[in-house]
A and B are shown apart, each in its own frame.
Chain A
Amino acid sequence: AQSVAQPEDQVNVAEGNPLTVKCTYSVSGNPYLFWYVQYPNRGLQFLLKYITGDNLVKGSYGFEAEFNKSQTSFHLKKPSALVSDSALYFCAVLTSDMRFGAGTRLTVKP
């Protein structure tokens, strides 16, 4: 079955430090991978996607993600975290439909 996994329920970082939110995938064939962010009482907002091409994908709000085929990973990164980045982050894979990971709650402390 096509799926993504987010091994961490919670990630805590200090403001100004780099952040990484992990995602691994299990897909037959070429994966189409996405990251979304959810703020309280809001719908999911698209951050970035990997379809093909460059393994380093840049997205909204200074986020980027690196596609690693050998490790079947698509980790979300940001060089310098902001308190306002605190939210719930979802990794997703698109095959015939879109399947989401369980989500990782990112908390950035001042």
Chain B
Amino acid sequence: DAGVIQSPRHEVTEMGQEVTLRCKPISGHNSLFWYRQTMMRGLELLIYFNNNVPIDDSGMPEDRFSAKMPNASFSTLKIQPSEPRDSAVYFCASSGPFVTEAFFGQGTRLTVV
């Protein structure tokens, strides 16, 4: 398996634009996590899916952020409109179906100017 695949690896966008980050989890995994990493706040859990259903989105910063998982092999994290303070590295991770470690993608480095 190629592991968790995230795209794009880098994204530079202007403030106010819509940004969509994509994730393909490892086949057979039934849990998917979106994290955001910044120097100031460390690694924050944004949202967690189990069997394609959002279980906990309490970490989503505000309504500008939304995440979907239309099927077991794909998830998106959308920011609309984007702001400079959204600049960070966004990681997707998957795990499961039992108590196992999470496997991380390489991350998407987002810069909003």
Contacts and interface: CB of A to CB of B under 8 A. Distances in A.
Interface of A: 32, 34, 36, 42-46, 49, 51, 90, 92, 94, 96-103
B106 A97 contact: no
13 contacts: A36-B104, A42-B106, A43-B4, A43-B104, A43-B105, A43-B107, A44-B43, A44-B93, A49-B101, A51-B99, A97-B45, A100-B45, A103-B43
B104 A97 contact: no
A34 B95 CA distance: 13
Contacts of B93: 43-44, 98
Given A34-B101, A43-B91, A44-B91, A100 B106 contact: no
Contact of A44 (B55, B56, B95, B104): B104
A102 B41 CA distance: 8
Contacts of B99: 32, 51, 94
Contacts of A45: 104
A97 to B, nearest CB: 4
- Decide if the interface of chain A is mainly helix, strand, loop or mixed: strand
Interface of B: 4, 33, 35, 42-43, 45, 48, 55-56, 91, 93, 95, 99, 101-107
Contacts of B103: 46
B4 to A, nearest CB: 8
A105 to B, nearest CB: 11
A100 B42 contact: yes
Nearest to B59: A97
A30 to B, nearest CB: 10
